[in-house]
Amino acid sequence: MKARDIRDHFLSRADWLHRTKTVDRIIVGDPERDVTRCLVAWMPSFEAIRTAVARGVELLVCHEPTFWDHWDDSPQNKPHCKEKLDYLLKTGLVILRNHDCWDRWPRIGIPWAWAQFLGFAGEPAAVAGSGYLHRYDIEPIRFEDFARRVAARTAAIGEPAVEVVGEPGQLVSKIGVGTGCGCDVFQYIEMGCDCSIVCDDGSYYWQHMQFAADRGHPVLCVNHATSEEPGMVTLTRYINENTAGVAAEHLPQGCRFRRVSAGS
């Protein structure tokens, strides 16, 4: 397959997208390059790019921007992009972004993969926000115990502690689940949620979190990357199962920060 064939495979099946108004495109590289191996990574960091080159793959499929701007517009005209762009052009690595497609891909895309990773089974009780926001109903559980349950799962991908706002003993059973910027406490409450799981890149403490606190609505906050790493696993699996002749490998990245305490 050519790099453009893989791009077209996803775009042709994402009927919710306008093909001229999406970030899902080949960011750098030759669309006609033959692809037999690809690396799948949430963030096309310089480290991930060097890893792809070292492994000899032709294509890096990523979820987030390459040049630190959502649209990755005209990196050749921006001095701060020069080093990364020059390296990519020199190596010939092709970068394909799969963001808008995979964010809403039914059953296995980003929000679905995250919910499944957290242990929510079956269909969501409600869906809103153009498919980005889900609500899952569970047996009532103390908020503190629920937060520990979530942290036990996120620990596997580099985030052993989650940020929480809310009363520890409050019972919760209708959980709002979303990823990235697609987390909205206001909408979760409208969906009937009594607890929300949000991400640091989409929820502000002066706004969303304080609103939740004032409403007595418990919230867990995780790193953006943590919430979308499970979706990179499902994307890798999908490419392996649906693009003939292309072998995909997942590059684990997980939580993008570490915490340093006074005693460590």
The domains located in the chain, with CATH, are 3-103 (3.40.1390.30), 121-224 (3.40.1390.30)
What pLDDT, in 10s, does the model give residues 97-114? Answer: 999 999 999 999 999 999
**Do the beta carbons of residue 133 and residue 187 sit within 8 Å?**
yes
pLDDT-derived band at 87 (thresholds 50, 70, 90) equals very high
pLDDT of residue 40: 99
What pLDDT, in 10s, does the model give residues 181-223? Answer: 888 999 999 999 999 999 999 999 999 999 999 999 999 999 9
Q: Provide the 3-class DSSP secondary structure of residue 32.
A: coil
Average pLDDT over residues 253-257: 96
User: Count of alpha carbons within 13 Å of 100, Cβ hemisphere only?
Assistant: 18
Average pLDDT over residues 9-33: 96
Q: What is the mean pLDDT of the chain?
A: 96
pLDDT-derived band at 180 (thresholds 50, 70, 90) equals confident
Q: Tokens in use for 168? A: 């520890």
Residue 264 has pLDDT above 70, yes or no: no
User: Exposed/middle/buried for 146, CB within 10 Å: 0-12, 13-18, 19+?
Assistant: buried
pLDDT of residue 130: 87
